[in-house]
Amino acid sequence: MNYDLEERTAKFGEAIIHFVASLPKNEVNKILINQVVRSATSIGANYMEANQASSKKDFRNKIGICRKETNETKYWIRMISGANHDKIAECKNHWKEAHELTLIFSKIFSSSSKKIEAL
């Protein structure tokens, strides 16, 4: 099976965009939507940059940013869940995907550290 992390991160960003479009438009959600869209779409953008990195150190740095952005996205999803109790089930699904991406980027990050130290 061909596993495409660029596609997975893009689909995640798109899913978040579609999800937040269903949220009620109020002052709290406005702030939360802005934050979660920024962090969720940043994951894929930074992963694409990592794949075009100019060095192993640059690659590792971009993967570290991907990991940070997935963690931040989990936080904002939690805040959305707290502000929109009728969306808890959807938030759990998005949180789970963000968590899986966090684990993937954590593994890539730690593996890339070993490769840099071996040089």
Q: Where are the domains of the chain?
A: 5-118
- Give the pTM: 0.90
Q: In tens digits, what is the pLDDT along the chain, a chain of 119 residues?
A: 346 999 999 999 999 999 999 999 999 999 999 999 999 999 999 999 999 999 999 999 999 999 999 999 999 999 999 999 999 999 999 999 999 999 999 999 999 876 555 44
Contacts of 29 (CB under 8 A, 6+ apart): 20, 23, 80, 83, 84
CATH of 5-118, one of 1.20.1440.60, 3.40.1640.10, 3.40.50.2300, 3.40.50.720: 1.20.1440.60
Whole-Å CA distances, 41 to 14, 45, 73, 82: 8, 7, 9, 21
